[in-house]
Amino acid sequence: MSAAFRHFLDLDVIEASELRRIIERAKAFKAGDPAKPMAGRTLAMIFDKPSTRTRVSFEVAARQLGGHAIVLSSRDMQLGRGETIADTARVLSRYVDAIMIRTDSHAKLLELAEHATVPVVNGLTDSSHPCQIMADVLTIEEHRGAIRDKTLAWVGDGNNVLTSLVHAAIRFDFSLNIATPAELAPEPLLLRWAAERQGRITLTTDPLAAVKGADAVFADAWVSMGQADADRRRRLLEPYRVDAGLMRHAGPDALFLHCLPAHRGEEVTDEVMDGPQSVVFDEAENRLHAQKAILEWCLAT
């Protein structure tokens, strides 16, 4: 592995121009660009949590880029018996050319990246999900053109996916209206980060106010993986279901996005999920194209 590589950890630590380059490369890959930057290279993927899209799209991405992927469950690794993350990073770096990790604590991702001598990609932590939001930016641009100056709305929990969306609002320069229960609002530190960068972010507890005039409406699970207080969350989030009535307030051209898996009847109704405004399966597909561009960027020397 060459010394020149880049981690893909979060959208707030990567420059806007680099993220734009990745999106344009994702569009090229989707259009059939045959580049094989992973020829002869291996991606290791560590999962501390379940996954369908991340697992399959990264594995297919590695293959389509000329390389291959190894899927590891931390339970089956010595990590699960107490080997440190730092030592795991050092060992994996001797075998593979990139590491993707899906884990709980963000500190584990950062520790892995600190000790790995190959690129590390964030495949979701309790704090963020940057690969997802790159796919979402690609999806919105495909359907509605440049994301710059668009207005997006988030309805539901102030969670990991929202954190990456806030980062993207600054990096891609769009407005973001967030509706969450006060108890589940995003971290003040995140909002301060955005405010210091003149972010056009509004925070409300009213879903109707958030979606008014929006070009796209986002929902996500009311109970994310690893969250213990499911009953309390469901109670607080009951008024935040995205249904046809709420989508009407957003306007007929508004897209509906959801990173999936959806909990139909909970955060979103079947009518919206399966309706004409929904682009959720394009989003899922775009994980593949976006991650090919992310892997290429990470490995570029």
Closer residue to ligand NVA, CB minimum distance, 11 or 118: 11
CB contact at 8 A, 101 and 118: no
Q: Which of 52, 78, 84, 117 binds ligand CP (CB under 6 A)?
A: 52
Closer residue to ligand CP, CB minimum distance, 132 or 151: 132
Beta-bridge partner residues of 69: 43
287 part of the active site? yes
Q: Which of 140, 259, 268, 290 binds ligand CP (CB under 6 A)?
A: 259
End-to-end CA distance of the chain: 10
| Residue 132 touching ligand CP (CB under 6 A) | yes
| Residue 124 touching ligand CP (CB under 6 A) | yes
Token pair in block for residue 188: 């003040």
Which of 165, 186, 160, 191 has its CA nearest to residue 176?
Answer: 165
**Beta carbon of residue 5, minimum distance to ligand NVA (angstroms, whole number):** 26
68 part of the active site? no
64 part of the active site? no
Rounded distance between C-alpha atoms, residue 134 and residue 164, angstroms: 9
Q: Which of 22, 51, 109, 168 binds ligand CP (CB under 6 A)?
A: 51
Residue 160 partner contact from ligand CP, ligand NVA, none using kind-dependent CB cut-offs of 5 to 8 Å: ligand NVA
Which residues are at the interface with ligand NVA (CB under 6 A)?
Answer: 124, 159-161, 220-221, 224-225, 259
Which of 274, 266, 275, 279 has its CA nearest to residue 240?
Answer: 266
20 part of the active site? no
- Which of the following is catalytic: 258, 287, 291, 298? 287
Closer residue to ligand CP, CB minimum distance, 132 or 269: 132
Closer residue to ligand NVA, CB minimum distance, 96 or 190: 190
- Which of the following is catalytic: 25, 48, 126, 132? 132
CB contact at 8 A, 125 and 160: yes
Closer residue to ligand NVA, CB minimum distance, 135 or 147: 135
- Count CB-CB contacts under 10 A for residue 105: 14
**Beta carbon of residue 225, minimum distance to ligand CP (angstroms, whole number):** 8
| Residue 168 touching ligand CP (CB under 6 A) | no
Rounded distance between C-alpha atoms, residue 25 and residue 28, angstroms: 5
Residue 139 partner contact from ligand NVA, ligand CP, none using kind-dependent CB cut-offs of 5 to 8 Å: none
Sheet containing 216-219: give its strands across.
201-204, 175-179, 151-155, 216-219, 255-258
Amino acid at 198: Q
**Beta carbon of residue 184, minimum distance to ligand NVA (angstroms, whole number):** 12
Helix (H) or strand (E) holding 256: strand 255-258
Rounded distance between C-alpha atoms, residue 69 and residue 54, angstroms: 12
CB contact at 8 A, 250 and 285: no
102 part of the active site? yes
Residue 159 partner contact from ligand NVA, ligand CP, none using kind-dependent CB cut-offs of 5 to 8 Å: ligand NVA
Burial of residue 167, with CB atoms counted within 10 A of its CB: 0-12 exposed, 13-18 middle, 19 or more buried: buried
Rounded distance between C-alpha atoms, residue 268 and residue 258, angstroms: 9
| Residue 54 touching ligand CP (CB under 6 A) | yes
Which residues are known to be catalytic? 102, 129, 132, 220, 259, 287
Q: Given the rule CB under 6 A, which residues bind ligand CP? A: 51-54, 124, 132, 259-261
